[in-house]
Amino acid sequence: MYDFSPRVSLVSLVAALLMLPGSGVGEENLRESPLVRAVRQASRSVVNIHTEKDAVSGRENHLFQQSGRKISGMGTGLVVDEAGYIVTNYHVIDGVSRITVTFHDGRASEASVVSFDRKEDLAIIQIDCSEPLEVMPTGSSADLMLAETVFAVGNAFGYEHTVTSGIISALHRDVEVDEHQSYHNLIQTDASINPGNSGGPLLNVAGNVIGINVAIRSGAQRIGFAIPIDDARDVIARLLSVERLRGHSHGIHARRLPHLHGLTITSVRPDSPAEACGLQTGDTIHRIGDLRISDVTDLERAFLGVPTGTPIEVAIERDKQPLLHQLTLGRAGSEFAGMAIQPSRSQFVKASQSTFGGAVSTPAKPLPPQELFWNSPGVLVRELTHPELQAITGRNFPGANGNIRYNGGLRVTAVRAGSAAAALLQKDDILLGLDGYETVSIENFEFIMDPQRIAQSREFRCQYLRPGANPVEGSIVLE
């Protein structure tokens, strides 16, 4: 027999009391939703970015010079390494003269640009920090679901640490902004994204980053886009490559495999520190030093502060057995023989966007045929003599991001009439950088002019120094 008479249990009575307005009993627990906890966790790793840019026009916008009037800009970034490395969109810091980073607790620091990828619209900036920063937890964009709850944190219209929520509206969107910028495989969300949100995180309810906010649909309501974090992390790894930033070599190529913890080694470069310490293709890396490894960005982060000649412990799994190895970094371009070997300048690292992990180095080799450069873009170059190098590295130059120090350059010895280079460069100019890469060696230049890279982009931003002047920026457009 069923009894339908009213009855109040002890459990329901307590629950009712907890819901009474003003009771105060457990109220905080009821209000503290997963989103609240996620935002609280994320706020320590999200930074607000404020920039200044010189107000110039026409050809002047290519000159590294100061102007009386400043234009303010804004964006967002997230901490990707405790040593002060922060990722944001390239368009946030493009051409700016000053970058100020502000944390949730009001701390402010000046930042400098470390590296960038203009095509992928991502950049790494860095601040000096007296204590380790908190790194934003990273999720995966491989298993995103339509209508999944997400939220964005950013510097919306200058209102710092603005939080908006929504859902994933669509996946795999291709968006063309203009003839110079297009995006592929973006996440579409209806979480409100506004000017100033660029470079900030799109997070799931667990507080993990699943995208980096990058664009909005002008004139539309609640249509925003984010770079999937898995795609972004591959780019970030290249931008943080220890070979690119420090000239250090580890020799590991790896990728994250679905449903596996750690990072699986896909190849080990011959004569590299990785080969010397016994790492093999198929090994799964779980830890390097004190850092747990989940993707290629973690791999590069683990080696960032490690000097050459200093061993670091690498914990791997091979055939379901845990193993420990001691890897000692070498100098990029040097053959590894158990200790760091200083390379000549012609042995400098080739930083590769097409190679997994962002860099590849080769042993010293003869200079490539200058005929290749003479055909395209139309120059002959040589490496700097020691006095010429000292004249570059010993100076501070005025630049788009404040004072700039260069690591060297290449002297232009001839320019082919009617070539792409002839529209910009002259004999005796010093080529300081090309397409976001420094050009301190012939091998740097050879890498940048690789036919596969040229097929992807025909326009190359160029920084060069003309005798008696300050550095200048322009573009070389190949035919």
The pLDDT tens digits of the residues spanning 56-86 come to 544 444 434 444 567 889 999 999 999 999 9
| Residues 342-394 pLDDT 10s | 222 222 222 222 222 233 233 333 334 455 677 778 888 888 887 788 888 87
**pLDDT score recorded for residue 372:** 64
**pLDDT > 90: what percent of the chain?**
38
Nearest to 295 by CA among 208, 224, 213, 183: 208
What one-letter code names the amino acid at 343? Answer: P
Interval 128-147 mean pLDDT: 92
pLDDT tens, position by position, 265-313: 999 988 889 999 999 999 999 999 999 999 999 999 999 988 888 899 9
- What residues are labeled active site? 91, 121, 198
How much is the pLDDT for 247?
75
Which CATH superfamily is 370-477 part of? PDZ domain (2.30.42.10)
Given the structure tokens 């994933």, which residue do they identify?
168
CATH of 149-234, one of 2.40.10.10, 3.30.300.30, 3.40.50.460, 2.40.128.20: 2.40.10.10
Query: CA dist 396 to 54, 113, 165, 192, 406, Å?
Result: 19, 15, 45, 42, 8
pLDDT of residue 169: 96
Q: What DSSP string describes 238-303?
A: HHT-HHHHH-EE--EEEEPPTT-SSEEEEEE-TTSHHHHTT--TT-EEEEETTEE--SHHHHHHHH
Provide the percentage of residues in the chain whose pLDDT is more than 70: 79
Highest mean pLDDT of the ranges 61-65, 88-92, 406-410:
88-92
Contact 49, 77 (CB under 8 A): yes
For the cut 90, the answer to whether the pLDDT of residue 90 exceeds it is yes
Minimum mean pLDDT range among 99-113, 122-136, 225-239, 319-333: 319-333
Q: For the chain, what are the domain ranges?
A: 41-127, 149-234, 241-347, 370-477
How many other β-carbons are positioned within 10 Å of the β-carbon of residue 472? 18
Q: CA 64, CA 68: separation in Å to the nearest integer?
A: 14
Q: Please state the rounded mean pLDDT for residues 448-461.
A: 73
When pLDDT is cut at 50, 70 and 90, the band that residue 408 belongs to is confident
pTM beyond 0.75: the answer is no
Task: Give CB contacts under 8 A, 24+ apart, made by 284-292.
Answer: 284/260, 284/316, 284/317, 284/318, 285/252, 285/254, 285/314, 285/315, 285/316, 286/261, 286/262, 286/315, 286/316, 286/317, 286/322, 287/313, 287/314, 287/315, 288/312, 288/313, 288/314, 288/315, 288/327, 289/313
Higher pLDDT, 96 or 334: 96
Confidence of residue 28 (pLDDT cuts 50, 70, 90): low
- Rounded to the nearest 10 degrees, the angle between the axes of helix 229-239 and helix 296-304 is 30
Euclidean distance between CA atoms 387 and 393, whole angstroms:
10
Question: Matching CATH topology for 241-347 and 370-477?
Answer: yes
Q: Is the peptide bond before 228 cis (omega within 30 degrees of 0)?
A: no
Question: The domain at 41-127 falls in which architecture?
Answer: Beta Barrel (2.40)
Q: What would the DSSP string read from start to end of 117-157? A: ETTTTEEEEEE--SSPPPPPPB--STT--TT-EEEEEEEET
Mean pLDDT of the chain: 80
Q: Which fold has domain 241-347?
A: Pdz3 Domain (2.30.42)
